[in-house]
Structure 1
Amino acid sequence: MSEIRVVEGRVKADGSKANDKQDGFSVEKTATGTYKVSFDDPFTVEPTVVANIYGVSTSGTSWNTVDNAIVEEADRSDVRIVTGNYYGDKSDRPFTFIAISSRVPRGR
């Protein structure tokens, strides 16, 4: 059985890390509701990545269940996460993510 590698984090709507003690990745807000998360050390095998919005809105209420975060594209080095509003438009949202993969390609 191969070892598992995990990189996880929380990102604020402005594209900064929610906790400066998080390591293993950097993040850049590239456009409204679009974020590039780069892994400090690329994965050996393309990871599975999951993302969700978190927290409360700027008005202090919970996000609507249709506000969302999606993984638009992922590879061994980075992932593009897009967040959106109730209407499906790209909109800045805080999000969490987890990227997980085996350290060794299967079959080796």
Structure 2
Amino acid sequence: MDTTIDQKVSVDKDEYERLNKLVDRLIEDKKEMETEFKQIISSILNEVEARDKAAVSDGKVSASLQEKIRQQEQTINDLQKRLSKLQNSKLGKLQMKYWELRKRIR
């Protein structure tokens, strides 16, 4: 049997509903990730401003500020690991493909 580009793909109702639920879940996940990302960026900007204000006149950084910097670096490393795990997971790969499809459609 020859296949053509015009050939339609048939999907049963259960599969269609499952895919719709998955798309909805991906949209919710994206919104949550965007919110979390904005909060993290805001926190980092606040920390940078605090670091600028807390720097000692001779150029040394206080111990509490060093600890905050270390915590921010740890947060960034954790987020990079989470992003890497998401990109390597099946759901994450599907999410990335979905975002690419949405970009092409717009």
**Structure 1 length normalisation: TM-score?**
0.21
**Quick check: which has more Rg, 1 or 2?**
2
Greater RCO (Cα-Cα under 8 Å, separation 6 or more): 1
Bigger strand share: 1
**Structure 2 length normalisation: TM-score?**
0.21
Bigger helix share: 2
